[in-house]
Amino acid sequence: MDYANRMARLRARLKRERVDALVVSHLPNIRYLAGFSGSNGLLAVTADGAGFFSDSRYTSQAAAEVQGARVRIPANGDLLSAAARHIRGARRVGFEAEHLTWGQATRLQTALGKRARLAAARGWTEDLRLVKDAEEIAAIRAAVELAAGVLPGVIARLRPGLRETEVAGRIEFALRRAGGEGTSFETLVASGARAAIVHGKASEKRLAAGDTVIMDYGVWLHGYASDRTRSVLLGGGGRKAKGILRAVRDAHDAAIAAVRPGVSARAVDAAARAVLRAAGMAQWFVHSTGHGLGLEVHEAPRLGQRSRDRLQAGQVITVEPGVYIPGWGGVRWEDVVVVRPGGAEVLAP
Ligand code: ZN
Ligand code: ZN
């Protein structure tokens, strides 16, 4: 990963915003800027240097992973004070307003002293993460392909009587066995009437003949997430279920066909919604069409009715329309696509 380039672009932002230093606390941002993959750390960036701070569990890992920053492990475990010492003299200090707690910001201010002023920085690193470079896209592709590869084996063994939790467990075991670093979010398996729950956690409910089964799952690989949903009609499904699945898949395809650089994220959402409206199902499509994906499962851009984002080449997004009918069940179909100059490239189609 080109950490030097990322850090240089962040420093340009610091300069534009007239900030002397930025304290980065959000771990995915730290990983993006300096490579650290552990669970506790702080990065302090100035115009000409950077310090990384963590605790003693991560001494060797930080030494191996962190690039472009001097690693410090304060003996007392107080990372905020160590970061404040590192940027001593800075008058305007940016902090990640969406991620640092009030308590942490207060402690940072105390550690910096009265002469320093805190400035709320919102999305400075997230803005850099919006467009993925080739290495990131390769990492996401590998995660998506790994995840896609395990599902046919699970689907082939779906049968009435299996609990949703058992199905989730099989998916998760298969992801691990294939080399996955862990699930990128809690595996969702919802069947029958439970499939009307948009975010249906796997429960002890047993699959029954005629159920629709929604499986939404993801894996981490090299720090990048996958996210994919498939819906299966157990026993082939009746006319109603088939019609709904057809409409959802058509909406998914229409949204993907609308993806290209420069197009508004709202237009992609509208393309999916139009198909479901024509099928008389728009009122049951109760969430947005998709979201960005990368070092986090949900990141910018958002593909919803109120989104103000515009797609750019190199963005990686999900497309995931769904229909959820209370008392009956639901269907969702989700893929990850890369925004390319000529349109969408579906990963693991
Ligand atoms: Zn999903
Ligand atoms: Zn998703």
Q: Are residues 85 and 140 in the same domain?
A: no
% of the chain beyond a pLDDT of 90: 97
Ligand 1 center to residue 241 CA distance, Å?
Answer: 20
Last residue of a domain, one of 129, 161, 190: 129
Ligand 2 center to residue 288 CA distance, Å?
Answer: 10
CATH number assigned to the domain comprising residue 157: 3.90.230.10
Q: Are residues 103 and 195 in the same domain?
A: no
The string of pLDDT tens digits covering residues 88-128 is: 999 999 999 999 999 999 999 999 999 999 999 999 999 99
CATH number assigned to the domain comprising residue 64: 3.40.350.10
Ligand 2 center to residue 72 CA distance, Å?
Answer: 37
Least confident of 30-39, 232-241, 304-313, 331-340: 232-241
Structure tokens at 74: 């304060």
Ligand 1 center to residue 238 CA distance, Å?
Answer: 25
Side-chain half-sphere exposure of 113, counting CA atoms within 13 A: 8
Q: Are residues 233 and 151 in the same domain?
A: yes
User: What's the DSSP call for residue 130?
Assistant: T
Domain of 284 in residue numbering reads as: 134-347
Q: Which ligand is nearest to the CA of 186?
A: 1
The gap between the terminal CA atoms of the chain, to the nearest Å, is 26
| Contact indicator for 50, 7 with CB cutoff of 8 Å | yes
What integer pLDDT is reported at residue 236 of this predicted model? Answer: 86
Residue 183 CA to residue 189 CA, distance in Å, equals 14
Q: Are residues 164 and 268 in the same domain?
A: yes
Indicate the residue type of 6. R
Q: Are residues 122 and 140 in the same domain?
A: no
Ligand 1 center to residue 217 CA distance, Å?
Answer: 6
Confidence of residue 173 (pLDDT cuts 50, 70, 90): very high
pLDDT at residue 200 above 90? no
Q: Are residues 171 and 305 in the same domain?
A: yes
Residue 70's contacts (CB-CB under 8 Å, 6 or more residues apart) are 49, 50, 51, 52
Structure tokens at 51: 């310090």
Ligand 2 center to residue 185 CA distance, Å?
Answer: 10
Last residue of a domain, one of 106, 129, 152: 129
Q: Are residues 81 and 187 in the same domain?
A: no
Mean pLDDT of the chain: 97
Number of domains in the chain: 2
What integer pLDDT is reported at residue 12 of this predicted model? Answer: 98
Residue 14's contacts (CB-CB under 8 Å, 6 or more residues apart) are 20, 21, 22, 45, 46, 47, 94
Q: Are residues 171 and 67 in the same domain?
A: no
Q: Are residues 239 and 290 in the same domain?
A: yes
Q: Which ligand is nearest to the CA of 218?
A: 1
Confidence of residue 237 (pLDDT cuts 50, 70, 90): confident
* pTM, rounded to two decimals: 0.96
Q: Are residues 186 and 39 in the same domain?
A: no
Q: Which ligand is nearest to the CA of 290?
A: 2
Q: Are residues 166 and 238 in the same domain?
A: yes
Q: Which ligand is nearest to the CA of 317?
A: 2
- Adjacent-strand bridge partners of 214: 190, 231
DSSP 272-311: HHHHHHHTT-GGG--S-SEEE-SSSSSEEEEESTT---B-
| Contact indicator for 230, 155 with CB cutoff of 8 Å | yes
The string of pLDDT tens digits covering residues 25-65 is: 999 999 999 999 999 999 999 999 999 999 999 999 999 99
| Contact indicator for 59, 30 with CB cutoff of 8 Å | no
What integer pLDDT is reported at residue 199 of this predicted model? Answer: 87
Q: Which ligand is nearest to the CA of 199?
A: 1
Q: Which of 251, 255, 247 is nearest to 291 (CA)?
A: 255
Ligand 1 center to residue 262 CA distance, Å?
Answer: 25
The string of pLDDT tens digits covering residues 243-299 is: 999 999 999 999 999 999 999 999 999 999 999 999 999 999 999 999 999 999 999
Provide the 10 A C-beta neighbour count for residue 236.
Answer: 10
Q: Are residues 52 and 149 in the same domain?
A: no
Last residue of a domain, one of 81, 98, 129: 129
The string of pLDDT tens digits covering residues 152-163 is: 999 999 999 999
Q: Compute φ and ψ for 228, nearest 5 degrees.
A: -150, 140
Residue 107 CA to residue 83 CA, distance in Å, equals 11
User: What's the DSSP call for residue 254?
Assistant: H
